[in-house]
Amino acid sequence: MTDVVLDKAPVNDTPPPPSSTLRQPRLPRWAPLGIGALSAALGSGVGLVAGLESRIQWGLIAALLYVVINYTLATLVEGSRQAKDRLATSVVWVCFLAAVVPLVSLIWETVVRGSKVMGVDFLTHSMNGVITLQEGGGAYHALIGTVEQVAIASIIAAPLGLLTAIYLVEYGGGKLAKAVTFFVDVMTGIPSIVAGLFVLAFWILYLGFDYSGFAGAMALAILMLPIVVRSTEEMLKLVPNELREASLALGVPKWLTILRVVLPTAIGGITTGIMLAIARIAGETAPILLLVFGSPSINNNPMEGAQSSLPYYVYEQWKLGNTASFDRAWAAALLLIIFVMVLNLVARAIASWKAPKSGR
């Protein structure tokens, strides 16, 4: 009912005075979209005319044009402050696309090529007795290897890293804590092949154990440890000190405060950190190459004998260099991505389930 009244422009239908400082000419709302389409067309046009083969070059030209046209138009129409705003916005958009396009194309490529041989057979068979030139065979043995090695590495590294982080945040503060932080930082930078060589030298050459999934898992644990420590440390630091004090003031001992108040508050972030660390080590090839040796047949025992793993399997199949093995390599890569993604989804589910709840 008020609509009728409002239709008759209740505020002001005379145009603002020309000297108004509050109103400035603006580009229409569809301008960014229009300029985007225009620069995409121009980029392709320039690319075609100049005979550039790579679509990446077309894209780069279009991106550059997008930023430049946006800035120029805005300068002409809206003035310099708005132009800077548009410049920043357009650069952010271009960077976003530059980050997302390779990611999407990578996943797309892996899905398209990997789904060719992906299936029940691929998931349930090993490469034992398969002539490598032929189709068939699968990655069951590699999947087993990855799952076991990653699980063992996590069982070693996750509690160790968690306890280290708890020490650093809740108890540390002296020289020891500084030293631990320093060495954790150094460990973050260890290349995976060095971790592999260390375990090779110590476990296999010096102590005389055989190649095994466990040896590989130890190297993976070395790689995983600093990531877990770092992420857990950050998460524990985020827990407000007031909560610790509230608990201590209730007469709760410190260890129980950490266990029942601090850790539950940070558990979402800690889980995410551990899962990211797992995702990181699940794709490692170098230590597996040195320590697990690789095997075409199923070996369920990680404590003895050669195993395989998904990244190693991809490497091995790719090296064989024929169509059938390429297909298998892509399928294993897809399997690895799915493995990591499932872990991530589980982590996110746990994080959102355990995260501190608000709301009434």
Partner 1 sequence: MAKRIDISGLSAYYGSHRAIDDISMSVEPRSVTAFIGPSGCGKSTFLRTLNRMHEVTPGGRVEGKVLLDNEDLYGSGVDPVSVRRTIGMVFQRPNPFPTMSIYDNVAAGLRLNGKYKKSDLDGVVEKSLKGANLWNEVKDRLNKPGSGLSGGQQQRLCIARAIAVEPQVLLMDEPCSALDPISTLAIEDLVGELKSQFTIVIVTHNMQQAARVSDRTAFFNLSAVGQPGKLIEIDDTERIFSNPTVQATEDYISGRFG
Q: What are the DSSP calls for 269-288, one per residue?
A: HHHHHHHHHHHHHHT--HHH
**Residue 355 beta carbon to partner 1: minimum distance, rounded to whole angstroms:** 9
Question: Min. distance of Cβ 267 from partner 1 in angstroms?
Answer: 8
Q: Please identify which residue in 14, 19, 251, 323 interacts with partner 1, judged by CB under 8 A.
A: 251
DSSP 3-state of 208: coil
Taking CA atoms, 268 is separated from 37, 38, 121, 236, 285, in Å, by 41, 44, 37, 11, 29
Total residues contacting partner 1 by CB under 8 A comes to 27
Binding status of residue 85 toward partner 1 by CB under 8 A: no
- Picking from 76, 181, 170, 122, the residue whose alpha carbon sits closest to that of residue 336 is 122
Min dist. Cβ of residue 346 to partner 1 (A): 20
Cα–Cα dist 37/239, whole Å:
46
Number of other CB atoms surrounding residue 136 within 10 Å: 13
Rounded Cα distance between 150 and 156, Å, is: 10
Q: Lay out the site mask for partner 1 across 205-244 (x = CB under 8 A, - = otherwise).
A: -----------------------------------x-xxx
Interface with partner 1 includes 175 (CB under 8 A)?
no
Length of the chain: 360
Least distance from partner 1 to the Cβ atom of residue 354, Å: 8
d(CA 334, CA 339): 9
- The binding track of 298-337 with respect to partner 1, each residue x by CB under 8 A or -, is ----------------------------------------
Query: What is d(CA 255, CA 250) in angstroms, rounded to the nearest whole number?
Result: 14
Instruction: CB nearer to partner 1: give 85 or 245.
Output: 245
Distance of closest approach, residue 256 Cβ to partner 1, in angstroms: 5
Which residues of this protein are in contact with partner 1, per CB under 8 A?
173, 240, 242-253, 256-257, 260-261, 264-265, 267, 354, 356-360
